[in-house]
Amino acid sequence: MTAVVSPTVVDRKSLDPRFVRSIEALLIPAGALIVSALLFAVFLLLLGKSPVQFFSLIWIGGFGSGFSIQNTLQRAAPLILTGLAFAIPARIGLTLLGAEGALVLGGFAAAAVAIPLVTNGMPSVIGLPIMAAAAMIAGGIWIGIAGWLRHYRGVNETISSLLLGYIAIAIMNFFVEGMLRDPASANKPSTMPIGDAYRIGAMPGTSVHWGLAAGLLLAAILYILMARTTFGFAARMTGGNVRAAQAQGLPVGMLVVACCAIAGACAGLAGFFEVAAVHGQANASLVAGYGFTGILVAFLARQNPLAIVPVAIMFGALAAAGGLVQRRMGMPDATVLVLQGIIFVVLLVSETFHGRIAFLQPRTGDRT
């Protein structure tokens, strides 16, 4: 008697691919954070320090009081904008590391434009939008150059954007230490102060400047742009397969440059708020590493503009608690940077697990 072999059947119901991607987007970064915390705990134990005390101080310094929360949100504001500056080009398949340079150049452009405006008595209601526009245009052009070089000249965007970042910092230093230097800035070369009239105050009832509100608004707008519009669909299609996008007649070059320009504008706006709300002038304090931390924020958020917000707040808490860790545990303020470095390395390794989590994959088998 001949055995009848039934067709291949699915032992486990096939899951919706979108559901699987959503679960992975939560589980894998969460697992990376847990592994990073465990590795850092081992690092602290080797130094004779208490991991429990360290993480409790991180919580206290980041969220333990109203002052701590506001300090965290203040530090999260530029991270949201620089995280967006990495996430938007990543949607089109580009890895850009130039947000730090765009932030610095944007902040310098805002401060430089403010000098004649303040001198001529321009009202701040007109001058501040001009400063913000100058910062966004400067940042957009700067990162847009990297996109143009990538598409039209075949230059690696990671290298070019990184080098452009260092060039932007050199340009700021050249002018700040030269023709635009304020003679009164003896210890730290700076541009002329923008004056109290041009300073952006805090949001009502808080000590957090309006850069946070701008970051939240931009995150929502860019999420809609990239997820709910034809522009975003075209950008995602280009990021998935450039040749297929070209075959469909999509303007790939325009999309690449546009995404890079949007990214640079976000970083430039962060520089504007650093000048108008924090420092009051352009100087070396603009080079604070927000652009590089923003890369880690975007990675952990899986380039989702909305997810960037809570991740930026988490890293803002780490930065806000650095001083407390230094005082209470007698450790350098750079200890937090070590933790960020571990998170980044573990996160890169965790990227290899996407699409490979066994219990989320359907299993098939033959049944006789």
Domain count, the chain: 1
Q: Using the 8-state DSSP alphabet, how is residue 198 labeled?
A: G
Kindly state the greatest CA–CA separation across the chain.
101
Q: What is the pLDDT of residue 139?
A: 97
What pTM value is reported for the model? 0.90
Give every residue of the chain whose pLDDT is below 70, as ranges.
1-21, 355-368
Interatomic CA distance for residues 201 and 204, integer angstroms: 9
How far apart, in Å, are the Cα atoms of 234 and each of 226, 255, 258? 9, 8, 12
**Structural tokens at position 175:** 């002018």
Does some domain include residue 87?
A: yes
Interatomic CA distance for residues 250 and 242, integer angstroms: 9
Does some domain include residue 6?
A: no
Does some domain include residue 347?
A: yes
Task: Output the CA angle 38-42-46, nearest 5 degrees.
Answer: 165
Does some domain include residue 262?
A: yes
Q: Which helix (H) or strand (E) holds 126?
A: helix 124-153
Task: Output the CA angle 281-286-67, nearest 5 degrees.
Answer: 90
Q: What is the pLDDT of residue 353?
A: 78
Among residues 190, 165, 194, 188, the alpha carbon closest in space to that of 176 is found at 190
Does some domain include residue 3?
A: no
Q: The CATH number of the domain where 295 resides is what?
A: 1.10.3470
Q: What is the pLDDT of residue 19?
A: 67
126-149 pLDDT, tens digit per residue, is: 999 999 999 999 999 999 999 999
Q: What is the pLDDT of residue 186?
A: 80
Does some domain include residue 286?
A: yes
Does some domain include residue 129?
A: yes
What domain range includes position 287?
A: 11-39+50-360
Backbone angles phi, psi at 364, to 5 degrees: -125, 160
Does some domain include residue 350?
A: yes
